[in-house]
Amino acid sequence: MMDFTDRFCRYVHRAFTRRARLYTEMITTGALIHGQRDRLLRFDPGEHPVALQIGGSEPDDLARAAAWGEQAGYDEINLNCGCPSERVQRGAFGACLMAEPDLVADCVRAMREVVKVPVTVKHRIGLDRDESYDFVVRFVDRVAQAGCNVFIVHARNAWLQGLSPKENREVPPLRYETVYRLKRDFPSLTIVINGGLRSHEEALSQLEHVDGVMLGRAACDDPWLLARVDSRIYGAADPIDDRVQALEAIRPFLADQVLEGVSARAVLRHVMGLFNGLPGARAWRRTLSDSATLAQYGAGTLDQALARMLRT
């Protein structure tokens, strides 16, 4: 998610699950070509498996970006065809690309020609108020012909006018059955569902119909949601037993980042919701967001927040 699933978020989330695949926030081809590419592509080796999500619509530019992503060590290159923000629309990419399946196919083909890692696509099930199934079928079919085998499908339309990005995650109705139908009609493709899922039970029920589940806002709001993913979804051992153990796992990383000049807030904001619903959660959040405490204690803000929570 833009401005959220940065490298700090991903490192924090990896403390809760070893198996779930993590995705970067969308990085535009323009930023990679003209900006600080090494900084934008930087990630910790502990984040694997991790996918680079790219935004763009020029096949040659996307090919360059994909090649840089593979060289940086990413396990997957994902093309964003689902973001509905006006800023992204002005760049002629994101969700509006769904109206141009031939162009998306060209983009996928160009990326696949230069990388060996999988090239995947994240998209919506339609645009604006057109809920025609034929629209999304044509898109998936055309892009699959270009060699894309994995489609991550947000089960809502993208309304390109009149809604904010937040409203686009809430107002267009969820239509899971459309995603299930895609899986039935394209059984050889890997179909991953996204949108509105907030529990393990909901995720497991989706796996009766599709191949995978992507959690977005729910995992960011409550990272503890990821803590039993390895055992419940993958049948593997979970890396931690409790919330404090997770914090101990990220403590060295937090200290290292602060020594590099990174604000402690950049890391700690990703554990803000860790104790939601538990005694002391308000004191925990208040401490982590307090500018004076962050300025005084830096990485030590973590200990201050724990102490104040336990005293509550």
Query: What digits encode the pLDDT tens for the residues 184-214?
Result: 999 999 999 999 999 999 999 999 999 999 9
Residue 24 has pLDDT above 70, yes or no: yes
Topology classification of domain 243-311: Four Helix Bundle (Hemerythrin (Met), subunit A) (1.20.120)
Query: What digits encode the pLDDT tens for the residues 92-149?
Result: 678 999 999 999 999 999 999 999 999 999 999 999 999 999 999 999 999 999 999 9
Domain(s) of CATH 1.20.120: residues in the chain:
243-311
Query: What digits encode the pLDDT tens for the residues 136-187?
Result: 999 999 999 999 999 999 999 999 888 887 888 889 999 999 999 999 999 9
What is the Cα–Cα distance from 48 to 69, expressed in whole angstroms?
13
Sign of CA dihedral 51, 52, 54, 60: negative
Give catalytic residues, as residue numbers. Answer: 83
Asked whether the beta carbons of 36 and 61 are under 8 A apart, the reply is no
Sign of CA dihedral 147, 22, 236, 208: negative
Write phi, then psi, for 126 (nearest 5 degrees).
175, 175
**Among residues of the chain, what percentage have pLDDT more than 70?**
97
Q: What is the mean pLDDT of the chain?
A: 95
pLDDT at 4 (0 to 100): 85
Tell me which of 1.10.3720.10, 3.20.20.10, 3.20.20.70, 3.30.565.10 is the CATH number of domain 7-234. 3.20.20.70
Query: Minimal CA–CA distance to 79: which of 146, 128, 126, 20?
Result: 146
Domain(s) of CATH 3.20.20.70: residues in the chain:
7-234
pLDDT at 215 (0 to 100): 95
Write phi, then psi, for 182 (nearest 5 degrees).
-60, -45
